[in-house]
Each structure stands twice: as C-alpha cells, then as structure tokens.
Structure 1
Amino acid sequence: MRSIVMACLAFVVAVALAAPAVSATPRKFRNCAALNKVYPHGVGRVGARDSTSGTPVTNFKRSNALYLVNKGRDRDNDGIACERA
C-alpha cells in the first residue's frame, strides 16, 4: 500500500514539475500607429495620469509590462505611451 502511495506522489510531483507556467510576453510595437490599431487609446502604467492641457485620456490599456516594453513611445513621459483621445 505504501509503495502505491509513493508512486502516486512521485507521479504528481513529476507532472507538476514538467508543466512550466506559460507567461505571455508583451508585444513591442514598431510605432504608435501600429500600437493604436490594437490599443486605440494607448497603453500606460497602472495609476498613470495623462499630462495634457486638453481633455486627458482615461480609457487607455493599463498594463505595467506592456508599457515597459513600449516605453520609448511615451514622448511626454507621463506614463502613457501613444495616448489618443
């Protein structure tokens, strides 16, 4: 009986270690036109605020990982890349 329990335990551990967690890597866009096709209002860090003199963009995609990959597209350094109203 003990050998059956040990065999089952070994099987569970082997399956758990063999199946690594799949993490999606954020997509890096070539320019703002390509980014805005997928995210029309831009991408930004969680908690970012649009620094504009007009109406601020509030409905952008909030994702720290996606923003970090596309940080070079943030011209005004407000934490939102390629923001559009």
Structure 2
Amino acid sequence: MSVVHIVGSARRVPDAAVAPAATHLFQGEPVRIIRTLGIAAATAVLATTVVVGGASTAQAAPKTYANCTAVQKVYSGGIAKKSVTQNKVVSGGKTTTRALKGTVKKDDALYKANAKLDRDKDGIACEKS
C-alpha cells in the first residue's frame, strides 16, 4: 500500500490491488478492517488454546470403594485390569478359568485404587464367580 501525505492529514490511499468494491464500501479504509479482523482471529485462537489447554491439565483421581457391595452397585461384575479376559477360580484346590460375568469395568487406574478388594489376586476386584 502506498501512503500519500497531504498537508495536515496522514490519510492512506489504497493501491490498485485492493478491490474497488472494498474501497468504496469501506470508504477508503480497508487497512483498518483487515487489522481488526487479524486481531479478532488472534484473540479467538488464544482463547481456544487457553480453554482446551486448561481442561486437559486436571484429571480426577480414581474412586476408591470401601467394600465389594459398593463396587457391585456400580459395576455388577467388578473392576478388572485391562489385560484380564478370564476369571480365575480356585475350587477344591483346582484352578479353572471362567468367562467374566456382569458389567466388568476394565480400567487399570481404578483397579489399582481398589486392588485391596481383589482377594484372589487374579486382576479382578469384586468379581462374580
């Protein structure tokens, strides 16, 4: 853009590259509009970054249950490690595996917080046999 100095005024005159409609519509001040749009876009990007970045920093700690009755009210099949696919059952000194029963929540962090409720140490806390 070229700047033409008029005595007593520093008014900008648009180049030929600026569309005639824009020059006419905005009365010869397309630079102010472009600058305003640039500031608005930068503000929107900054606000989005703050909101998205702020939400991911805080994570809730996994809930710790007092006993298996409390766990089974929420997850009827108990809480398991993600890697567990079978329930290990010991009966009469013999170990067998069975399919998981009920709604089993597979979550490593939740299992670790409630590992004290896994009596047989098979990776499933408060499972149904």
TM class by smaller structure: 0.7 to 0.9
The DSSP-based 3-state class of the residue aligned with 1:52 is strand
| In structure 2, C-alpha distance between the alignment counterparts of 1:7 and 1:62, rounded to whole Å | 45
1:30 to 1:57, Cα distance in 2 relative to 1, 3 A:
farther
1:80 to 1:34, Cα distance in 2 relative to 1, 3 A:
same
Greater strand share, structure number: 2
Name the larger-Rg structure: 2
What's the TM-score once normalised by structure 2's chain length?
A: 0.54
Counterpart AA for 1:38? V
Counterpart AA for 1:28? T
Task: Tell me which residue corresponds to 1:41.
Answer: 77
CA shift at 1:55, angstroms?
Answer: 5.6
Unaligned 5+ residue runs, structure 2? 1-33, 91-95
**Displacement over 6 Å in runs of 4+:** none
| In structure 1, C-alpha distance between the alignment counterparts of 2:105 and 2:68, rounded to whole Å | 14
What's the TM-score once normalised by structure 1's chain length?
A: 0.75
Alignment partner of 1:16 is 2:79: no
Aligned length: 85
Unaligned 5+ residue runs, structure 1? none
